[in-house]
Structure 1
């Protein structure tokens, strides 16, 4: 979906397909013809943006056989779909029964991560619509917290992105996504650790930033992409209501004014119940959980107003990947409702749907 910003630029809205389980190309094609096509139909739009997640094996298969890349581009066109951004954070197995810390492996200390990201850059350059010259790839915030920051591979990353631009005429930018518990937790740490280069920047995940209680002054930090997401918020004394959300698949970092825990079970065991908690559990944008729990939708609205004032980015991706572990999942209908909520929010900010 495309929107005309009052300043004249085009803002792209997509939803991320990492919510769907697929590890190979037949699975990717099934997503497009199934989930993505149905979401587009529910929204009643001629063209739907999708933020593709391509596991490493599927990405390599696309480059090993150029005809597979041609077929993927044709499938996107035939279903009324377009791709300007990829989610390159998970490497593989994102919808396995247990993901947790595995999502950070391989990290940016590994040549595998570099190769995967440059594979995605080459693929995205081929998938971009004919009238779009710039794409984005979001990636992990270097690594889960370790001794030191693995930044040595960022120089060859930039060199590889420049080679893609020289060869294809398309500019692909990589966005590092701050997340609690990682080497880059905050945008301030991103500004400190990332080299300043036009091809690198950050992906602002609204859920992650809300869990960190982060302010909205990003200085001159390049914002390549914004992920529209809401965290789970718990008012003081209501923590027992979190029991339905303490699940085994994903990591749910939790923070309050006086403490932090790497996962929700740990938080329930030791953080003070008398404070407001925010939990890294991506909640639907359009609907609040049963009370007394709420979400950080208000923070997302403030973030959208801040980032889209200029705009500071032209790529927005709805990323609620937790439908499979929500108490009452409705994946297709829920995704369509989230995108409808987003386009109404963008309209309020003065953007016109094209």
Structure 2
């Protein structure tokens, strides 16, 4: 739906499904309920998530035609997609395999191009479209500095191949679409700093000559095309986990002409650890209730000296809970954004409020997507029916007057 600063939607990765038939049935069941609650008198957007299997099924002409007709009949539209998880995303162990196949592979490149071909068919006239994707790969798969550097280079070249395809589509159709890289803990790119450094030190040096050669343009135009078609996905949860200063990151992006493709509106778990021994035990046990086996739940601890301790998941973090250097924990678990207090734990809802206020004062993207995908693995006291949960999330954002 159109709000003051852009188009607001939710990511359909909250719906479990193994194929397009499952995905479509979930939309048919839940979307009308959500729309009636959130946008009864106007169109409502969808942040479409498709697995590789679903994308192969939806790209067929008959399936696309049926879906487009359903969108029309239900006053729905697709302007953004989530191309991060390639395979199954629910009811199986995902963990670090959420990055599989990574950007070092042909499979990731071809899957992403297929998603863009679907998006260009669905994208309303006059709107730009974006697809969020993984931060190149999972850093712990690469054991040496040389392996890490080679993976980053190979991944960057595959990203450039997608940028070339987006330029061709734009020249042929006039539709502007962008790939939105999403930094997250333990990705090759896990912070705003690392994304900006990669953009300037890896993407542009490799990409500018490639675009110059392929499209017969000067270097300044090649750089402009890269910045049009490769953006940052600003997942608020991920930036909050790293204790990043949102205003500083966004100011540097603007100064360097690097665009934000979309804001993913999401909240992490956090807790201050400067508590009594009894309260610390409650905090530890509370985090334990979120230690489920499906997804990675990386933890970043803030130290007394301002430094950070990074843990690859909740299990190793809990094993080090008595570390007296840590004053606060933030954990990668997408909790409902409309909830701030969870016993002695809190959400990073304040970070969302900060980012949305920055967006309201000086809009830096027109794509806003709520991404709370953990409904099935939340502790029971936080669970609601899926349609009600999504509606609550969207209505909470609307009330912030974005």
Shorter-normalised TM range: over 0.9
**Of residues 280, 289, 308 in structure 2, which corresponds to 1:244?**
289
2: distance between equivalents of 1:71 and 1:321?
Answer: 26
Residue-by-residue CA offset, 1:234-287 (whole Å, 9 max, x unaligned): 221322221210100110000111311110111000142652100000010112
2: distance between equivalents of 1:162 and 1:56?
Answer: 23
1: distance between equivalents of 2:172 and 2:26?
Answer: 30
Match of 2:158 in 1: 153
Aligned-partner SS, 2:160: helix
Residue-by-residue CA offset, 1:85-139 (whole Å, 9 max, x unaligned): 0000000101132110110001110111111111111111111123x33101000
State the TM-score, normalizing by the size of structure 2: 0.81
2: distance between equivalents of 1:152 and 1:263?
Answer: 30
Contact kept in structure 2, 1:52 and 1:87, CA below 8 Å: yes
* 1:230-269 equivalence runs, <5 A: 230-236=267-273, 237=280, 238-258=283-303, 259-269=309-319
Note closer, same or farther for the CA distance 1:136–1:164 as it changes in structure 2 (3 Å cut). same
Match of 1:58 in 2: 54
Aligned-partner SS, 1:276: strand
Match of 1:32 in 2: 27
Aligned-partner SS, 2:49: coil
Match of 1:229 in 2: 266
Q: Is it true that 1:200 corresponds to 2:230 in the alignment?
A: yes
1: distance between equivalents of 2:27 and 2:173?
Answer: 25
2: distance between equivalents of 1:92 and 1:164?
Answer: 26
2: distance between equivalents of 1:243 and 1:49?
Answer: 36
Please, what is the CA RMSD of the aligned residues? 1.5
Match of 1:298 in 2: 350
Kindly tell me the number of residue pairs found equivalent between the two proteins. Answer: 340
Match of 2:73 in 1: 78
Contact kept in structure 2, 1:49 and 1:82, CA below 8 Å: yes
* 1:52-131 equivalence runs, <5 A: 52-63=48-59, 65-130=60-125
* Off by >4 Å, runs of 4+ in structure 1: none
Q: Greater helix share, 1 or 2?
A: 2
Match of 1:8 in 2: none
Contact kept in structure 2, 1:179 and 1:186, CA below 8 Å: yes
Contact kept in structure 1, 2:266 and 2:370, CA below 8 Å: yes
* 1:183-222 equivalence runs, <5 A: 183-194=188-199, 195-196=203-204, 197=226, 198-216=228-246, 217-218=248-249, 219-220=252-253, 221-222=258-259
Q: Is it true that 1:313 corresponds to 2:369 in the alignment?
A: no
Q: Is it true that 1:141 corresponds to 2:196 in the alignment?
A: no
Contact kept in structure 2, 1:205 and 1:226, CA below 8 Å: yes
Contact kept in structure 1, 2:9 and 2:46, CA below 8 Å: yes
Match of 1:286 in 2: 338
1: distance between equivalents of 2:302 and 2:124?
Answer: 45
Contact kept in structure 1, 2:44 and 2:75, CA below 8 Å: yes
Match of 1:163 in 2: 168
Match of 1:332 in 2: 387
Aligned-partner SS, 1:122: helix
Match of 1:3 in 2: 3
Contact kept in structure 2, 1:37 and 1:80, CA below 8 Å: no
Identify unmatched segments of 5+ residues in structure 2: 143-147, 205-225, 274-279, 304-308
Cα drift, residue 162 of structure 1: 1.2
Note closer, same or farther for the CA distance 1:158–1:184 as it changes in structure 2 (3 Å cut). same
Note closer, same or farther for the CA distance 1:185–1:151 as it changes in structure 2 (3 Å cut). same
* 1:333-352 equivalence runs, <5 A: 333-345=388-400, 347=401, 351=402
Aligned-partner SS, 2:156: coil
Residue-by-residue CA offset, 1:295-354 (whole Å, 9 max, x unaligned): 000011111222343211110100000011111321211110010000011x1xxx5xxx
2: distance between equivalents of 1:156 and 1:106?
Answer: 16
State the TM-score, normalizing by the size of structure 1: 0.92
